């Protein structure tokens, strides 16, 4: 047997990352994409001395002499050109977000002022120089990096880009992906299966997971017919950057996938991994060309291989650097086979800030109903067969929505 | 002053949840929505005794008498009608996922069989009754609940629904939401701001966050003009279920929002909360009608109020029950003001399965650049002013993408 370990499989896969280039997108269409360049400040942030409260602006001499009584000489709304002070006992009513004129050195909040317009009297403690003024350039100077490359685009990044006037941002281009389900026993969701058939679901799971990254994968179904499979995959390796197949990679007599892929010139990198679920995983690639993941057909195996192998390959290819995650096992687990075991777990956060993983026992890799009760796979080390409650192990959270 | 606590504000808001009904959606369009009914098994799961490996199927007498030598009487692919065994020394080659005939009681893997077709000889240990057969109904019986209502629709749920033939699923309808930015100092992202103006970004942040739930919110901008604001909001309260305003709720002379909303008959539930950021938060509602959140204008305040108040209101209204999350503070924090403090933190998971929150100091609520370096707000208790490293406090993770 030519079984390899999970670690070896991972290394082989991550040696085959690809780069698909960069494109410019309007920020409203970039959610979920990976930023491919830095976002820099187009001017100082804040771009002017900014009032952080509503109140009155006063000058340096007023602060030094502790003047309490002022005459209001103007009202300055946010967005207006700053109004200068015309004397130590003069003040300007100023609104949050307004630009503070350089003749003013402090803002006194309305809460600390008694107003009898045009008179204003300070009622609180003595003002301090600079109070309630957010200084120009205090957060960033013009041209400073505000967001580095390699971040996922989401609400905060989009809002920052908008503030900087970056209505288009550079993002990593995405591979063209085909999801190819195989198996004569699988019928379309809207068809009525015979008593011995089941409906297809792996295509839907994979498409939904990839949409999180902005990838809209094609879905193709093939029955277990060598010639048809060969014809279809011949065109797929020309049209797509990534093929994700499900089924047809085990020892069955109609498991044509590895043979067909070899015929097409896909270089097999490995077949079969010391793991449960997902043992028959097949991986291959053209040199500098399309890459092919052929997952076993069981929904749980597909889900595991997708999260453990394909998503890390995708994120690495896009330049995303997501840190590993660990959780604390809540039950003892015994697992004797010489395979790396990936139990399905339900991860939750305790009141004490611990990530707790409760294994939820399914009936093997065919029990897809169990996916609804769990939210991660836990990766238990190959070297051991007993895993104790209280130990932390790596987890692979399911992509949600 | 009429300041209320964060806890009081939360209670008032959650007393105003709404229900918007249920709609049926094709599963491919339901990602991010909340399942509004149970998904039940349309037949037993598995729907037949299912082979879990590729190999040969043998009968009860063969197992009892420990027969090792068989003649192959047929090949059964997945999806085919089951082939009966015709005697104790007869077997069927059977493929993973195929239906096992009731005359067969065990499957022996190809790995444990020496094949010289039509002969097959067992080479491994004696087979056990039931081995490698996933029994009909072992996971679920027909009509059992497979997924309960109230779950977010994502890849695993969509795949389960597909398996059950639920091409349409019931989901909670969404409120019609308008995001209304206010402030004469704010220009459109594509316009060039004067030296005293800034670009709008709150609308983009809120729209992006809500899209995670499948909500496509309208965005409307209003300058600080009482009449225009009144006219626009008059039509908004008729056209939308939820208004999310930003800006214009502080003590400024052009902060017309609370007045205009009162004029329109929106019942003010509270204004100002003992918190930083986000103190001037305003909340109101029509009885059984639209609800209105008016956030302060600073991007960080908006982000905090959105995650701490609006999202919980939305999730509760949709019947989502998301557990609270906690993380362990990594630095001591001193915060003297009598306000509940929500520092921005960067949360990561340690190798030991601990959720660690590192505070990242910004320059106040105007420093939106800080949102790129953090991924959550931490909620520090109002009663204290010193918060020690090592203590766990509640966190509110940002909506990502």
Residue A366 has pLDDT above 80, yes or no: no
CATH of domain B325-397: 2.40.340.10
What would the pLDDT profile of A102-127 be if each residue is shown by its tens digit? Answer: 999 999 999 999 999 999 999 999 99
Task: Give the integer Cα–Cα distance in Å for A220 and A236.
Answer: 10
Q: For residue B109, what are its two tokens?
A: 């893997």
- pLDDT of A223: 94
Q: Do B139 and A224 touch (CB under 8 A)?
A: no
Summarised one tens digit per residue, pLDDT across range B3-31 is 999 999 999 999 999 999 999 999 999 99
Tell me: the pLDDT tens digits for B97-135?
Answer: 999 999 999 999 999 999 999 999 999 999 999 999 999
Domain A50-134 class? mainly beta
Q: pLDDT at position A288, please?
A: 84
Across the interface, whether the CB atoms of A194 and B79 are under 8 A apart is answered yes
Position A129 pLDDT exceeds 60 = yes
Instruction: Name the minimum distance, in Å, from the CA of B130 to any CA of chain A.
Output: 14
Q: Please judge whether A392 and B48 are an interchain contact, meaning their C-beta atoms are less than 8 angstroms apart.
A: no
Q: Which CATH class is domain A23-45+139-172?
A: alpha beta
pLDDT of residue B321: 87
- What is the rounded average pLDDT for all residues in chain A? 95
Cβ-contact A255, A230 below 8 angstroms: no
R_g of chain B, CA atoms, integer Å: 31
Could you tell me if B114 and B123 are in contact, meaning their C-beta atoms sit under 8 angstroms apart? yes
Q: How confident is the model at residue A364 (pLDDT cuts 50, 70, 90)?
A: low
Whole-number percent of chain B with pLDDT over 90: 94
pLDDT at A361: 82
| Nearest by Cα to B48 from B137, B174, B109 | B137
Mind listing the pLDDT tens digit for each residue in B233-256? 999 999 999 999 999 998 899 999
B253:A363 CB<8 A: no
Average pLDDT over residues B171-184: 97
Tens digit of each residue's pLDDT (9 = 90 or more) over B326-352? 999 999 999 999 999 999 999 999 999
Q: For residue range B273-287, list pLDDT tens digits in order.
A: 999 999 999 999 998
- CATH T-level topology, domain A6-20+174-317: Molybdenum Cofactor Biosythetic Enzyme; Chain A (3.40.980)
- pLDDT-derived band at A321 (thresholds 50, 70, 90) equals confident
Residues of B with Cβ-Cβ distance to A82 under 8 angstroms: 196
Which band of pLDDT confidence, cut at 50, 70 and 90, is reported for residue A365? low
Q: Give the rounded distance of the alpha carbon of A365 from its chain centre.
A: 27
Q: How far is B39 from chain A (nearest CA, A)?
A: 10
Judged by CB atoms closer than 8 Å, whether chains meet at B54 and A189 is answered as no
How far is C-alpha B257 from the geometric centre of its chain's CA atoms? 32
* Sequence ranges of the domains in chain A: 6-20+174-317, 23-45+139-172, 50-134, 325-397
Backbone angles phi, psi at A80, to 5 degrees: -80, 155
pLDDT in the model for residue B288:
84
Pairing of strands B177-182, B242-246: parallel
Burial of A124 (0-12, 13-18, 19+ CB in 10 A): exposed
What is the pLDDT at residue B366?
64
Task: Identify all chain A residues contacting B364, using CB atoms and an 8 Å cutoff.
Answer: 52, 134
Would you give the DSSP letter of residue A284?
E
pLDDT at B333: 96
Which among A80, A139, A204 is the nearest to B158, CB-wise?
A204
Share of chain A above pLDDT 90, in %: 95
Q: pLDDT (tens digit, 9 = 90+) per residue, A73-97?
A: 999 999 999 999 999 999 999 999 9
Chain A residue numbers with beta carbons less than 8 Å from the beta carbon of B153 are: 401
pLDDT, chain B, mean: 95
List the single residue in A97, A153, A202 with the smallest CB-CB distance to B401.
A153
Confidence of residue B365 (pLDDT cuts 50, 70, 90): low
pLDDT of residue A401: 80
ipTM of predicted complex: 0.95
Which helix (H) or strand (E) element contains residue B105? none
Contacting residues of A for B81, CB less than 8 Å apart: 194, 196
More confident residue, B50 or B366: B50
pLDDT digits (tens, 9 = 90+) for A239-289: 999 999 999 998 899 999 999 999 999 999 999 999 999 999 999 999 888
Return the SS3 of A372.
helix
Q: What is the pLDDT of residue B367?
A: 75
Helix (H, G, I), strand (E, B) or coil at A396: strand
Asked if A255 lies within 8 A of B199 by C-beta distance, the reply is no
C-alpha gyration radius of chain A: 31
Half-sphere exposure of residue A342: CA atoms within 13 angstroms, side-chain side: 27
The verdict on a CB contact (< 8 Å) between A54 and B159 is no
- Give the relative orientation of helices A155-163 and B202-211 as an angle to the nearest 10 degrees: 160
Chosen CATH of B6-20+175-317 out of 3.40.50.300, 3.40.980.10, 3.50.50.60, 3.40.50.1000? 3.40.980.10
- Please count the CA atoms within 13 angstroms of the CA of A382 that sit on its side-chain side: 12
Structure tokens at B68: 């090792």
DSSP code of residue A358: E
Sorting pLDDT into bands at 50, 70 and 90, what band is B401? confident
Instruction: Over range B73-77, report the average pLDDT.
Output: 96
Q: What is the mean pLDDT of residues A167-187?
A: 97
Partners of A109 on chain B (C-beta within 8 Å) are 251
| Closest chain B residue to the Cα of A210, Cα to Cα | B155
Cβ pair B68, B121 in contact under 8 A: yes
**A162, A200, A328 ranked by CB distance to B199: nearest:** A162
Q: Among A151, A159, A197, select the one facing B299 at the smallest CB separation.
A: A159
pLDDT band at B190 (very low <50, low <70, confident <90, very high): very high
pLDDT of residue B340: 97
Q: How far is A378 from chain B (nearest CA, A)?
A: 12
Examine the pLDDT at A1 and tell me if it is beyond 60: no
**What pLDDT score was predicted for residue A189?**
95
A184 and B77 within 8 Å at the Cβ level: the answer is yes
């Amino acid at each position: 047997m030519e079984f390899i370990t999970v670690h070896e499989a991972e290394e082989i896969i991550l040696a085959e990352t690809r780069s698909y280039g960069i494109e410019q997108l309007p920020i409203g269409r970039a959610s979920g994409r990976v930023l491919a360049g830095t976002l820099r400040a187009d001017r100082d942030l804040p771009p002017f001395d900014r009032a952080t409260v509503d109140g009155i602006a006063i000058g340096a001499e007023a602060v030094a002499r502790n003047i309490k009584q002022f005459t209001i000489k103007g009202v300055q709304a946010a967005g207006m050109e700053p109004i200068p002070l015309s004397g130590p006992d003069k003040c300007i009513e100023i609104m949050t977000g307004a630009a503070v004129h350089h003749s003013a050195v402090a803002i006194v909040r309305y809460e600390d002022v008694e107003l009898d317009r045009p008179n204003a009297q300070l009622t609180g403690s003595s003002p301090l120089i600079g109070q309630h003024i957010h200084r120009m350039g205090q957060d960033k100077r013009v041209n400073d990096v505000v967001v580095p490359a390699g971040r996922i685009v989401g609400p905060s990044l989009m809002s920052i880009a908008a503030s900087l006037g970056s209505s288009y941002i550079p993002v990593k281009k995405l591979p063209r992906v085909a999801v190819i389900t195989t198996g004569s026993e699988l019928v379309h969701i809207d068809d009525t299966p015979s008593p011995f058939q089941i409906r297809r679901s792996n295509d839907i799971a994979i498409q939904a997971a990839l949409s999180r990254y902005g990838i809209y994968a094609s879905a193709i179904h093939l029955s277990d017919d060598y010639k048809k499979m060969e014809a279809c995959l011949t065109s797929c390796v020309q049209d797509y950057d990534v093929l994700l197949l499900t089924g047809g990679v085990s020892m069955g007599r109609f498991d044509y996938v590895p043979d067909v892929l070899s015929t097409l010139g896909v270089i097999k990198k490995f077949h079969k991994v010391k793991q449960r679920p997902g043992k028959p995983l097949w991986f291959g690639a053209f040199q500098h060309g399309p890459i092919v993941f052929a997952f076993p057909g069981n929904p749980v195996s597909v889900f595991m291989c997708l999260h453990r192998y394909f998503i890390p390959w995708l994120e690495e290819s896009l330049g995303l650097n997501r840190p590993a995650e660990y959780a604390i096992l809540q039950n003892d687990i015994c697992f004797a086979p010489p395979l790396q075991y990936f139990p399905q777990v339900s991860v939750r956060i305790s009141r004490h800030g611990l990530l707790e993983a409760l294994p939820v026992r399914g009936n093997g890799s065919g029990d897809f109903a169990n996916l609804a009760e769990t939210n991660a796979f836990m990766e238990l080390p190959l070297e051991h067969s007993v895993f104790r409650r209280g130990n932390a192990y790596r987890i692979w959270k399911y992509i949600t929505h």
